Structure 1
Amino acid sequence: MVKLAAKCLLAGDPAVGKSALAQMFHSDGAHFQKNYTLTMGIELLVKAVSVPETSDSVEFFIFDSAGKDLFSEMLEKLWEQPNVLCLVYDVTNEQSFDNCDKWLEKLRAQAVGVHIPGVLVGNKTDLADRRVVEQKQAQEWAEKHGLEYCEMSVKEMKNFEAPFHILAKLFHQLYKEKVETFHSLA
């Protein structure tokens, strides 16, 4: 049984549901706040996740960051050397999806030359009648940028654990590949 630790950056525009996702995941679905205040800076949450189909686990140090550019200089220091990333957008807000390019560029600038596993997350699927970003479009964008993709509704408690299970599996796979490389050198 292997226990890994991973620094997980949660990024995206303001009001896309990053804090709601982090809180719901951290509390195993027991804590959905109806009234959120804008995250100022960074909130850190820690939670372990079992890696599917193994006896291993990954302890995520989840950095829930503010979506406002105002905080971006402060965030850059805290964002150094991430292990995994979770990029969140609102399926009812095309600008939040378009800005994923900017967020991904900022995140990847913190780890030049290093493969960082990641997932693109479309939130607020409960607002189907207001949806403007189609699943296929987001899926294609994620694939083009080397990310996994999933959708959820934190409000309806649907699929909110999926991004972290995907990240645990990706991070574990990366760990196994590094161990194999190390053993091949010995």
Structure 2
Amino acid sequence: CRVLFFFDLAGDPTVGKTALAQIFRSDGAHFQKSYTLTTGVDLVVKTVPVPDTGDSVELFIFDSAGKELFSEMLDKLWESPNVLCLVYDVTNEQSFNNCSKWLEKARSQAPGSYLPVGVLVGNKTDLAGRRVVESSQAQAWALGQGLECFETSVKEMENYEAPFHCLAKQFLHLYREKVEVFHALV
């Protein structure tokens, strides 16, 4: 079974959303040393096998600019979010604090009291000497929000796949639950 899954990488500008999406798409084969800021929304597509299931999820990753200017576009992408990926820079406390804003935006688009699941990703761990957001702080916040927490260094190609594999697994689980509910109704 192959399931299609659309989601947005959310977070402030310059936290590494584009780098994360691009390194994931290239299987770690390509790290661009310089990026132009994303000005709208870029699309990254990749099929991810879900271990121990025989299934795969085709991820359609919307890499958005992270600016309020594009909030109407994000509203359309987030009409019914099931899972989300919040990205912050471990050297930028404001980018971490703003994850609350991004999460609230996603939850405001969710129907009823449904809370989407997903991941929180702290990027740029290679800049250890400049770190201001501690792992324990991020993990505690993520746990309180029902999110899985990961740290990555796209530059060092460390742990960049884990958040996407987790999202694929979470989405497949939600998909199967919905299929079971549908079959129970029929």
Give TM-score scaled by structure 2 length.
0.93
Mark the CA change 1:115 to 1:58 in structure 2 (over 3 Å): closer, same or farther.
Answer: farther
Map 1:6-21 to 2 at 5 A. 6-21=5-20
How far, CA to CA, are the matches of 1:157 and 1:93 in structure 2? Answer: 20
Which residue does 1:22 correspond to in 2?
21
Are the aligned partners of 1:42 and 1:64 in contact in 2 as well (CA < 8 Å)? Answer: yes
| Percent identity (aligned) | 71
Give 1:18 deviation, angstroms: 0.2
Alignment coverage as a number of residue pairs = 185
How far, CA to CA, are the matches of 1:53 and 1:145 in structure 2? Answer: 27
Map 1:1-150 to 2 at 5 A. 2-113=1-112, 114-150=114-150
Mark the CA change 1:143 to 1:156 in structure 2 (over 3 Å): closer, same or farther.
Answer: same
Give 1:146 deviation, angstroms: 1.1
The residue identity in structure 2 corresponding to 1:80 is: E
Cα deviation 1:79-127 (Å, max 9, x = unaligned): 3333421100011110000000001111122223344221000111111
The residue identity in structure 2 corresponding to 1:27 is: S
How far, CA to CA, are the matches of 1:39 and 1:107 in structure 2? Answer: 20
Unmatched tracts of structure 2, length 5 or more? none
1:179 aligns with 2:179: yes
The residue identity in structure 1 corresponding to 2:155 is: K
Are the aligned partners of 1:10 and 1:88 in contact in 2 as well (CA < 8 Å)? Answer: yes
Deviating 4+ runs (over 4 angstroms): none
Are the aligned partners of 2:119 and 2:163 in contact in 1 as well (CA < 8 Å)? Answer: yes
Unmatched tracts of structure 1, length 5 or more? none
